[in-house]
Structures are given as C-alpha cells and as structure tokens.
Structure 1
Amino acid sequence: MKRTNLLKVSVFLIFLGRAWQHLFWDAPYRTFFWDESLLKPIVENWFGMNWTDYVTSPRTDTIIQTLIQCNGFLYLLAAICTLLVTKFNKKLFKIPVFVGGISLVILSVLLAKEKFYHIAQFFEHSIQFGLPFVYLYTFSENYEKPKLYRILKILIAVTFFSHGLYAFGAYPVPGKFVDMVINIFGCSESFAVSFLYVAGILDFILAVLLFIPKVDKYALIYAVVWGLLTAFARLVANFYWEFPLQSLHQILYQVIYRLPHGLTPLIVLVGVNLFWRRKSFGYRRKLLETR
C-alpha cells in the first residue's frame, strides 16, 4: 500500500471512529453547555431562564444530543469525502474534510476541558486532529514530501509524549490505563502502575529519537508497534465473550480512531526510506553518468 493511501486510510479511520462514537454513544459537549461559570450569565440574562431549569430541562438535553448526532453525520460525510477526494474534485470534497478537522480540534479542547484543562489531554490527540489537515496539504501546490514527513514526526512526537505524561504519572494515572493492563496481563495494580511508568519513559525517549538521524527508524518501528498495540488493547481488555456483539459495539470505535497512532509512524517509516533510497539511487546514477 502506498504511503499516500495509508494516509488516506488513517484519516478515514479517524473520522469513521468518531462518527460511530457520536452517532451511537456520547461526546463531551455537555462539559461546555453545562458549565455554570461560563454560560449561566448568558442563559439567565439573555434568555431569561433559570440556570437550574436550563440544566434539568429535557429540551436542553435533546438539543445537546442533536448537536452530537449532527457532528456524527459530519464525521461520516468527512470520512466518505476522504476516500473520494482527488486533485480534480478537491475544491468540493476537501470542504467536509477541513470542517471535520476543525470539529476534531474542538472535540480535543472539550476532552481537555473535561480533564480540568490538562494540556496533555489536548495534545494527546495531535495525530487525530492533525492528520486531516496533513492529508489536505498533500493536494496543495506547495506540497513537499520532506516537509510532510517532518510534520508527521512532530505529530507523532507530541502525541506519544503527551500520552507518556499520563502513563509516567506527571498527571494522575487514568484508572482505565491501570485496568487495561490488569485485565490484559492478569497482574497486580502495583505492577500495572510500574509497567505504565516504564511505558511513559519510553514515550519520552521516542519523542527525542524521532529527530535523530540513523536511529529515527528504530523509534518509528517502536511507534508503529506500540501505537497499534495500545489501540487494540482497548478491545482485548474490554471484550466479553458472553456479550460479543455488544462488546464490539462499545469498544471497536475506540480502536478504529486510534489505529492511526500506529499507521502514522508507518507512513513516515516507509516514506522516508523510499525517499532517501530513490535520492541515493539518483545520485549514484548521476555520478556514473559524469564519469
């Protein structure tokens, strides 16, 4: 599969997974619409509605749920357009992809707000909200492959480093991280915390090695393996044979939009190797011709 196709598939998976989430489950929009300190003056002064009545109103909840559903359809449209966009129809089809990318940025802000504005929570989703814009960049007139790979490396480094901050314990270690390790390995809680601590350190090292020539490919290989494993870990840790279809419905969308965490370093790994191999081959051929 060509690296550009891998990029297309990655963006498609991000939009598909988020569409699944928004259409069938929930998203953190209530963390904004139920923020009393932010919206109470607007609700009571502009709309003349008591705050308690606003947050307990079924109509308010229906409006929020409708907004979530609309975003789900937006992501679904963006996923379809991602597969259909070409250099000939890009003026039309890139619009849903761009708007979907903006929506992913907003979603990441809301996820960070839900976690008391942890900056790492926002940047942990860098690959997810950054890839749609990177994909659109490949259709621009000033598109350059080396620049593409540099941008992707930055997205990978920021995503893994931010993820590592939680595993390392710079922020409170998420209970779902600990539970996943326990469920997969059948280990104690102390071992799970230690395992995550080491994983966090490796994420920090990875973020540095990505930008060191000659060793960056080993960091990319690790990122591919670890990115895919952490994606599938959600399914392995939370799958119940007693309820197979329900388990898949509840968890699979989380796997889908996280698969690009492993596919993105694969794009760079394949692309950079091919690029430099061709450049080296062209240089050797030109050298032979001058002799």
Structure 2
Amino acid sequence: MNESNPHRLPIACLRLGAFLCFAGWTWVHYYWEGPYGVLLWQDATYDLATRLGLSWDEFVGTGADDGFVQKWIARIWWLYLACTLLTITVRKTSWVQMSGLVLGSGLLTLLSYASYVAAQRQLPMFIEHGGQMLIPLILVMALALGAGHRVTVTTAVIALIMTFAGHGCYAIGFWPTPGNFYAMTTLILGVEYSTAQVLLRTAGVLDLAVCVGICIPYLRRASALYATAWGFLTAIARPVAGMSWGLNYWGADQFLHESVLRAPHFAIPLFLFLLWRKPGEKKVSQGRQGASAELH
C-alpha cells in the first residue's frame, strides 16, 4: 500500500465511510428508485424532450420502464456500484480511479440537490448532506495530497460543519423540525412529544456548538469525538426505530440502508479525531506496530 503508516488508519476511516455511503445509495437505486423525479417532472423537461424530437411518453415512459428517463434511472445504480468498488481499490497513483470518485461526488451532490428541491428548497436539507457529498473528494485528497495536508483537513472540517449545522438548524427549530426526528426520538427513548422536543432542541444546540468547537485547537479533538459518537447514533437511529420482528427481513431492506449511507456523518469526524492524535499517542501506536513486526 502507498499510504504512509501514521495515516493508514485515518484514511481507512475515509475508505469505510465512502464505501458505505455509496453502497447505501446503490441499494436505494437498485431496490427503490433514485429521487430524481422532482428534477425531471417539470415543464423544462418537457421542453427538452420536444427539442430532442421525442414525445412526452417516449421521454418519461408510460409506467412500464419504457421511457428514456425510466430506463436511465433504472440503470444508474451501476454507477454507484462502480464508485463503491473504487473506494476499496483506489490508490495514490490511480488517477483514473480518483477521477471516478470525483464524478461520484458529483452524483451525490445531485442527489442532495434533489432532496433540497423536494424539501421546498430548505437550505439545511442541502447542507446536512455535506459529509456525503464531500467524503469521496476528501478520500481523493488524502491519497493525492496526504491525510494531514491543509486542504484535506480543511475540506473535512467543512464537511463536518455542513452536516452538523444542517442537522442542528432542524433540531433546534430554525427551520421546521422534520416529523421523523420526533418519531425516532419518541420510539427509541419512549418519551412524550414535549420531552422529545426538549431533547431535540438540546441536541441542536450541541450540534451548533460542535461546528464552533471543531475550529478551536483546544476543543477540536473533543468536538470530533462527540461528533463521531453522535453521528453514529443518529445514523443507526433509522433502523433502530423502523425495524421490527414482524416485518419481512425484519425491515432491513427498508431501513438498514438509511443507516449505511449516513456513514460519512461519523467517519469524517473519526478521521479528524485520529488525525489530531497527540504526538505521544502516535509514538505508542508506532511502537506497538514495530514490536508486532519483530515478533513476526
């Protein structure tokens, strides 16, 4: 491997986060359907079809997956699967694979924009996907420039701030708090609506506090650790709240991917936490690796 030893573990976190994110969205596109309808079912789309010499039925289909758009949406999962594999195989000198991941970041940005439009253009809906949109780019930067390079670290910090600022704005009530936030809180913790509201408001304040703390040298590592734990908990909340023994496959086919595709929400802060280890911790870790190598 071309990755230097001190940064092998942080880069592995990025690989895992990007892998799970693309894998989750691959499942969405394969099992369900990509959320592109809000971008396609518009007058501008009809005008485009007309300019291409296609009728509306030929362009969007009749419901039997026979239109240009339906065929495209049905096959796009292959692109996400390819990106999933690239997160495992990409190396420092693999410029073609790196370019593929950059294009994959563009696909995730398009998905985030579709969610933003579907949510009546609420800004937090777009920015809270920052971790998902940027993790392929952060992985590429970590390989090409180095995990500790200023550009790599700055991009990772921006991705973290976007994710937690978007989530925090919803939780604290700056924008209408999504109903599923209340549903997950009440189902998992078994509390009433009023208590759930207090918990969400508190979580929202802490989310915004993380966005500030991650920029302060004395607080950044503690902020990254909290963000890792909270990002993991909010990711697994979907299947924990939705899955049930009474559902087919326990509901895993419906809810598990919701957790998997949110892996960047905890993988990016974990990357930063490991990257900001104190020099003494790094020496201990390297010493253990050296001792292990001598034994073998």
Normalising by structure 2, we get a TM-score of 0.84
CA distance in 2, matches of 1:56, 1:84: 37
Deviation per residue, 1:215-251 (Å, 9 max, x gap): 1222111101100000111111001111251511111
Deviation per residue, 1:77-103 (Å, 9 max, x gap): 111111011134x12322322221111
Aligned positions of 1:4-15 closer than 5 A? 4-15=11-22
The offset of 1:270, in angstroms, is 1.0
Q: 1:54 to 1:233 in 2, by over 3 A?
A: same
1:153 and 2:160 correspond: no
Q: Which amino acid aligns with 1:154?
A: I
Which region of structure 1 is more displaced relative to structure 2, 94-103 or 145-154?
145-154
CA distance in 2, matches of 1:148, 1:58: 45
Contact 2:65 2:71 in 1 (8 A): no
Deviation per residue, 1:92-119 (Å, 9 max, x gap): 3223222211111111111101111112
Unaligned 5+ segments in structure 1 are 280-291
* Pairwise CA RMSD: 2.5
1:222 and 2:226 correspond: yes
1:86 and 2:88 correspond: no
The offset of 1:263, in angstroms, is 1.8
What's the counterpart of residue 30 of structure 1? 37
Q: 1:46 to 1:244 in 2, by over 3 A?
A: closer
Aligned positions of 1:108-187 closer than 5 A? 108-140=112-144, 144-187=148-191
Q: Which amino acid aligns with 1:2?
A: L
Q: Which amino acid aligns with 2:12?
A: N
CA distance in 1, matches of 2:282, 2:222: 20
What's the counterpart of residue 199 of structure 2? 195
CA distance in 2, matches of 1:228, 1:73: 27
Unaligned 5+ segments in structure 2 are 1-7, 284-296
Contact 2:59 2:67 in 1 (8 A): no
CA distance in 2, matches of 1:131, 1:30: 25
What's the counterpart of residue 39 of structure 1? 45
| Aligned mate of 2:71, from 66, 69, 93 | 66
Q: 1:240 to 1:64 in 2, by over 3 A?
A: farther
CA distance in 2, matches of 1:215, 1:141: 26
Deviation per residue, 1:45-104 (Å, 9 max, x gap): 6647469x977832677543432333211111111111011134x123223222211111
What's the counterpart of residue 23 of structure 2? 16
Aligned positions of 1:99-110 closer than 5 A? 99-110=103-114
Deviation per residue, 1:173-201 (Å, 9 max, x gap): 11111111111112222222222111111
Contact 2:129 2:163 in 1 (8 A): yes
Q: 1:217 to 1:144 in 2, by over 3 A?
A: closer
Contact 1:23 1:68 in 2 (8 A): no
Normalising by structure 1, we get a TM-score of 0.86
- Report the secondary structure of 1:211's partner residue: coil
CA distance in 2, matches of 1:47, 1:245: 45
1:57 and 2:62 correspond: yes
Q: Which amino acid aligns with 1:199?
A: A
CA distance in 1, matches of 2:217, 2:158: 15
What's the counterpart of residue 288 of structure 1? none
